[in-house]
């Protein structure tokens, strides 16, 4: 019931579907710190690949013991060598992680093997002789010397973890050696006493001595385990030795961090602007109002705490259609399964159904959003006397042209024509019609024809580009070598004469990165972009750029950075690049997007929209499995629903099942004839029904097997009991052939 839906969802994840470059080897620091991680897990060098071990000195000694025994445990040796070799290459992690990205999440299997080897070795070490024990001691001595050398040269081990490991190794080896020598002496003494005291008495005495020595060895083993565990704990949580301690938050930090944009939306919108509507819905059982909000830097997933909806997303599994939309529109998110907003772009906010914006006048507000006076939010009242907390203040702005969940158009745009456009043109085209993956028929007008052309009114202003003392000619491919810049990196300056009353965007095409020669280099970057009006910094953003080698790469090379809508003109944009490696760019443009046609385009979408919307929320979870609404159509039209396209939705128009089309890449659409229509969407998790059938079938087979097993066992035992009651020799005449 659970497994099949998760597998189907996993196979559709964009991280699984996309072609990725998988390196043959891990970075050098992975191999340098492998032994340290094996013993204490005291390094972050392997955590990026989910290689968590920390088995301790006893486990290491157990593995050594298994390999010292040359004539035994060939299966354990082969398994250990094989799995360790798999850990040495990212390709194995890529395959075992479902072909999504290289990660050793299968470490549980490796840990199980090491644990079994340790348990086997410990039980045998207490019975080993002086020869085997001597080999263990020599191996331990060599290993301890190597650890000390590593610490001296500051190569891999921390001093604290190395001390604990060395003490544990030598302590355990010394106890084993003492135990072996003592046991041999006792055996010889008991053998000499066997003639005088009797053999049985000597054996009983020898067994008692063995048991006492074994208990002492077990006590030392326990002490060694506790010592290495304490060392690992110190390394993982010491502020001087590890950054892991900083992952923990105080109560003050948690409360202020969660009391940000989602809390503001719940207080300002649910508790003020729409309070009467929510109260009426609570009393009468009528549908609750639904809205989406956006903001600059929303806190990850806190909208779930307050039951509100926004443009933020951060989960392991994501919708591939959403990922495609973000790539097509040149968004700035650095990870394919995490995004905050739609880059504050007025056009994209509109088609996504964003109704409210949380921000302030100083940082800029998208076009068409009007401040609701007297409504402001701040978490400054929380923990007033505590410093270094994540403070947040905002005001609420309402979109005067907001589209409801369900707007219509009689115009459509083909995928072929859409992909032939560049990013600024694409977002303009989406405001003039609905992008469909297939021809909807002759009842609808196709954009891009002589009868219904796509109108573009963006302005590409002339620019001058410089980096330090170097200037670039128009149309020239741009190469920025980090080693030629200052120590902190290079700054690419783009100067231009901007326009007023528009969105000013930096359009970067073909951004690529080449690491320094002989080095792997960084796989992900946050590239700061700052817009200026004169000498005054107006807005700052960051481009999330990843190389194909990054596990969570977006695969994006083209970016459109919106420096936000402003009445005043910008005249300069700075792009900061790191000092490591070389960046190349095919072209850099500045695009000014006027809003002169936006109002008419939004009104055309809103002319026929869905009313009586009911999300049918399931309790406080905010989840739903049914959406209903009503719409009046004067003519045939395409109903675009701002609901992510998924195979789990089934649509019904006036009670009849209707095919759902993919619209605007990540949304859904229905083709409607003229007239009055009732719309219903039903959700069924893909694979849930089939998984339930399979589970029921397996359960039935299990019950059938147990029933047959019980019956056959009863028959077998009855036959055995009957045979036992037959006297011996009863069949002797039959066996000899006599009558």
pLDDT at 27: 82
* Centroid of chain to Cα 4: 20
Whether 2 is covered by a domain: the verdict is no
pLDDT at 731: 56
Whether 8 is covered by a domain: the verdict is no
Contact 564, 36 (CB under 8 A): no
| Residues 6+ positions from 423 with CB-CB distance below 8 Å | 328, 329, 330, 507, 558, 560
Together in a domain, 292 and 322: yes
Least confident range from 38-47, 300-309, 730-739: namely: 730-739
For residue 350, is pLDDT > 90? Answer: yes
Together in a domain, 466 and 519: yes
d(CA 15, CA 316): 9
Give the sign of the dihedral formed by CA 498, CA 502, CA 503, CA 508.
Answer: negative
Whether 734 is covered by a domain: the verdict is no
d(CA 278, CA 273): 10
pLDDT at 36: 75
Q: H/E/C letters for each residue in 691-727?
A: HHHHHHHHHHHHHHHHHHHHHHHHHHHHHHHHHHHCC
517 C-beta neighbours (distance < 10 Å), count: 8
Least confident range from 225-234, 514-523, 617-626, 640-649: namely: 225-234
On average, the pLDDT of the chain sits at 85
pLDDT at 650: 96
For residue 341, is pLDDT > 70? Answer: yes
160 C-beta neighbours (distance < 10 Å), count: 19
Together in a domain, 81 and 196: yes
Which residue among 185, 218, 246 closes a domain? 246
Together in a domain, 263 and 282: yes
Q: How many domains does the structure of the chain reveal?
A: 5
161-205 confidence digits (pLDDT tens)? 555 555 555 555 555 555 555 555 555 555 555 555 554 555 555
* Centroid of chain to Cα 736: 78
* Vertex 214 angle, CA 213 and 219, to 5°: 100
Instruction: Write down the residue that tokens 């290689």 correspond to.
Output: 51
397-420 confidence digits (pLDDT tens)? 999 999 999 999 999 999 999 999
Going by pLDDT thresholds of 50, 70 and 90, the confidence category of residue 522 is confident
Q: What is the CATH number of the domain that holds 661?
A: 2.60.40
Which residue among 246, 277, 305 closes a domain? 246
Which residue from 612, 609, 669, 611 is spatially nearest to 640, judged by alpha carbons?
669
Question: Which two structure tokens, joined as six digits, stand for 155?
Answer: 């190569």
d(CA 656, CA 644): 22
27 C-beta neighbours (distance < 10 Å), count: 16
Together in a domain, 618 and 545: no
Whether 452 is covered by a domain: the verdict is no
354-402 confidence digits (pLDDT tens)? 999 999 988 889 999 999 999 999 999 999 888 888 899 999 999 999 9
204-225 confidence digits (pLDDT tens)? 555 665 666 667 667 767 777 7
- More confident call, 184 vs 579: 579
Region 27-35: what's the mean pLDDT? 81
Going by pLDDT thresholds of 50, 70 and 90, the confidence category of residue 160 is very low
| Residues 6+ positions from 379 with CB-CB distance below 8 Å | 256, 259, 260, 263, 391, 392, 393
Together in a domain, 306 and 442: yes
36-54 confidence digits (pLDDT tens)? 788 776 555 567 788 888 7
pLDDT at 721: 83
- pTM of the entire structure? 0.82
pLDDT at 28: 81
d(CA 292, CA 299): 15
Whether 467 is covered by a domain: the verdict is yes
Question: Which two structure tokens, joined as six digits, stand for 674?
Answer: 């003229």
- More confident call, 272 vs 201: 272
d(CA 162, CA 172): 15
How far CA 301 is from CA of 88, 297, 512, 614, in Å, comes to 35, 12, 31, 23
Going by pLDDT thresholds of 50, 70 and 90, the confidence category of residue 543 is very high
pLDDT at 496: 96
Which residue range is the domain that position 120 belongs to?
A: 14-246
pLDDT at 62: 84
Q: Which residues pair with 560 in a beta bridge?
A: 507
Together in a domain, 311 and 385: yes
* Centroid of chain to Cα 74: 39
Together in a domain, 437 and 480: no
Sheet holding 512-514, edge to edge: 478-481, 582-585, 512-514
Whether 3 is covered by a domain: the verdict is no
Question: Which two structure tokens, joined as six digits, stand for 97?
Answer: 């992680």
Together in a domain, 78 and 184: yes
d(CA 548, CA 112): 33
pLDDT at 77: 94
Together in a domain, 224 and 291: no
- More confident call, 148 vs 710: 710
Together in a domain, 333 and 416: yes
pLDDT at 68: 80
With H, G, I as helix, E, B as strand and everything else as coil, classify residue 205: helix
Which residue among 211, 246, 281 closes a domain? 246
Contact 118, 57 (CB under 8 A): no
Going by pLDDT thresholds of 50, 70 and 90, the confidence category of residue 82 is very high
DSSP 41: -
User: DSSP for 660-672?
Assistant: PEEETTTEEEEEE
Together in a domain, 60 and 194: yes
d(CA 37, CA 700): 46
Whether 5 is covered by a domain: the verdict is no
Whether 4 is covered by a domain: the verdict is no
Give the sign of the dihedral formed by CA 362, CA 366, CA 372, CA 375.
Answer: negative
């Amino acid at each position: 019931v659970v497994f099949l839906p998760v597998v189907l969802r996993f196979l559709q994840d964009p991280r699984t579907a996309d072609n990725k470059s998988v390196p043959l080897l891990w970075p050098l620091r992975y191999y340098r710190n492998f032994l340290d991680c094996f013993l204490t897990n005291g390094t972050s060098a392997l955590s990026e690949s989910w290689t968590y071990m920390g088995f301790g000195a006893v486990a290491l000694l157990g593995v050594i013991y298994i390999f010292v025994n040359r004539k035994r445990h060939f299966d354990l040796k082969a398994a250990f060598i094989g799995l360790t070799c798999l850990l040495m290459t990212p390709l194995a992690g890529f395959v075992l992680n479902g072909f999504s990205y290289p990660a050793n999440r299968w470490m549980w299997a490796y840990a199980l093997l090491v644990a079994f080897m340790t348990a086997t070795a410990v039980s045998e070490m207490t019975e080993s002789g002086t020869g085997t024990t001597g080999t263990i001691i020599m191996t331990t001595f060599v290993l301890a010397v190597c650890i000390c050398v590593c610490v001296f040269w500051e190569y891999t081990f921390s001093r604290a973890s190395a001390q604990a490991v060395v003490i544990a190794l030598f302590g355990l080896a010394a106890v084993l050696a003492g135990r072996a020598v003592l046991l041999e002496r006792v055996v010889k003494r008991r053998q000499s006493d066997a003639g005088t005291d009797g053999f049985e008495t000597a054996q009983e005495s020898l067994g008692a001595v063995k048991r006492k020595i074994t208990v002492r060895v077990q006590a030392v083993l326990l002490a060694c385990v506790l010592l290495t565990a304490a060392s690992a704990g110190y390394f993982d949580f010491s502020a001087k030795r590890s950054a892991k301690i900083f992952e923990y938050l105080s109560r003050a930090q948690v409360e202020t961090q969660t009391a940000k944009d989602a809390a503001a939306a719940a207080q300002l919108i649910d508790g003020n602007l729409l309070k009467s509507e929510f109260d009426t819905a609570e009393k009468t059982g009528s549908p609750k109002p639904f809205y989406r909000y956006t903001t600059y830097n929303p806190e990850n997933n806190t909208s779930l705490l307050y039951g509100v909806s926004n443009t933020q997303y951060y989960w392991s599994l994501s919708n591939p259609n959403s990922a495609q939309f973000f790539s097509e529109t040149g968004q700035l998110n650095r990870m394919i399964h995490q995004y905050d907003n739609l880059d504050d772009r007025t056009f994209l906010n509109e088609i996504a159904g964003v109704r409210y914006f949380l921000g302030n006048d100083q940082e800029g507000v998208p076009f068409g959003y009007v401040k609701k006076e007297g409504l402001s939010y701040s978490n400054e009242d929380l923990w007033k006397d505590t410093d270094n907390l994540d403070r947040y203040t905002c005001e609420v702005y309402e979109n005067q042209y907001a589209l409801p969940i369900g707007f219509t158009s009689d115009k459509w745009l083909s995928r072929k024509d859409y992909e032939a456009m560049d990013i600024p043109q694409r977002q303009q085209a989406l405001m003039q019609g609905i992008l469909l993956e297939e021809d909807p028929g002759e009842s609808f007008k196709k954009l891009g024809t002589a009868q219904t052309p796509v109108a573009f009114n963006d302005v590409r202003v002339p620019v001058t580009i410089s980096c330090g003392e170097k200037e670039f000619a128009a149309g020239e491919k741009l190469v920025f070598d980090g080693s030629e810049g200052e120590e902190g990196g290079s700054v690419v300056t783009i100067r231009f004469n901007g326009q007023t009353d528009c969105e000013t965007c930096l359009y970067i095409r073909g951004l690529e990165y080449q690491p320094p020669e002989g080095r792997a280099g960084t796989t992900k970057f946050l590239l700061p972009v700052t817009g200026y009006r004169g000498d005054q910094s107006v807005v700052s953003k960051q481009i999330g750029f990843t190389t194909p080698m990054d596990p969570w790469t977006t695969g994006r090379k083209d970016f459109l950075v919106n420096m936000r809508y402003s009445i005043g003109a910008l005249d300069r944009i700075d792009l900061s690049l790191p000092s490591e490696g070389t960046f190349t760019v095919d072209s850099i443009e500045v695009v000014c997007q006027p809003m002169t046609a936006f109002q008419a385009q939004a009104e055309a979408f809103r002319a026929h929209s869905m009313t009586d919307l009911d999300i049918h929320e399931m309790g406080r979870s905010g989840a739903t499995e049914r959406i209903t609404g009503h719409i009046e159509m004067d003519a045939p039209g395409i109903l675009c629903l701002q609901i992510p396209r998924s195979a789990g939705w089934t649509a019904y128009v006036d009670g009849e099942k209707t095919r759902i089309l993919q619209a605007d890449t990540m949304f859904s659409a229905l083709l409607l004839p003229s007239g009055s229509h009732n719309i219903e969407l039903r959700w069924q998790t893909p694979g849930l029904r089939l998984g339930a059938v399979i589970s029921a079938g397996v359960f039935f087979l299990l019950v059938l097997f147990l029933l047959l097993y019980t019956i056959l066992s009863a028959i077998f035992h009855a036959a055995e009991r009957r045979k036992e009651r037959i006297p011996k020799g009863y069949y002797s005449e039959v066996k000899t052939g006599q009558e």
